[in-house]
Chains A and B, each alone.
Chain A
């Protein structure tokens, strides 16, 4: 049972463009939504996270938009750079389940120079 669905599977963007990755979840008890970034040969690393009490969170060029009623959240990467080329995972968890993260399927982002 896949509780977090992520799209697209792969994304190619030109340098300077906007990259948008979308996730949808089923479990309304989820209350923490992080995004992880993974470079080839490395482990995932936390990029940015949001809780459902806000609709948007911005850190530098990275923004999470959250729509609680639609059970969707998305990552926007402004002014995408070749160094942003990586696999991005959305995830979700609920406080009552402790630290159990449910990951989306991942999006392979390629930013062309």
Chain B
């Protein structure tokens, strides 16, 4: 059973397009995250939701909009894609936000903007 799943795994698109990445976790966790990993493998948190409520919103262009329809899902929508958005995006989940618990990462979505 996949704990944290993301779709699609690969996404190739043109500049200016709008795209979405979906994430689902079946671990029963309360908190979910989006991370961006750049070409140098640097991992940076973008957003975090706890029970559908936004709790971390890093300095990210407002072209990025997370949406959490329920606590098992956290989707990432990106408007007007730019070349610099090319990266691997990871979804993760953890039991709750107040503790310092293990974060479980999905397999990643490699986004390439042409």
Contacts and interface: CB of A to CB of B under 8 A. Distances in A.
Interface of A: 31-32, 34, 38, 41-46, 49, 87, 89, 93, 95, 98-101, 103, 105-106, 108
Contact of B105 (A45, A99, A100): A45
14 contacts: A42-B108, A43-B92, A43-B106, A44-B105, A45-B104, A98-B50, A98-B56, A99-B94, A99-B97, A100-B48, A100-B56, A101-B45, A103-B43, A105-B40
A103 B42 contact: yes
Interface string B43-67: 1110010100001100000000000
Interface in B90-114: 90, 92, 94, 96-108
Interface of B: 4, 31, 33, 40-45, 48, 50, 55-56, 90, 92, 94, 96-108
A76 B31 CA distance: 30
Nearest to B108: A43
Given A42-B108, A105-B42, A106-B42, A99 B102 contact: no
A103 B100 contact: no
Contacts of A99: 31, 33, 48, 56, 94, 96-97, 99-101, 103
A95 B98 CA distance: 7
Contacts of B99: 95, 99
Given A98-B56, A99-B97, A44 B43 contact: yes
A108 B40 CA distance: 11
Nearest to B58: A100
Nearest to A33: B100
Given A99-B31, A99-B48, A106-B41, A46 B100 contact: no
Given A43-B107, A49-B102, 5 more contacts: A44-B43, A95-B98, A98-B55, A99-B96, A108-B41
Contacts of A32: 100
A106 B55 CA distance: 26
Contacts of A100: 45, 48, 56
A46 B102 contact: yes
A109 B100 CA distance: 26
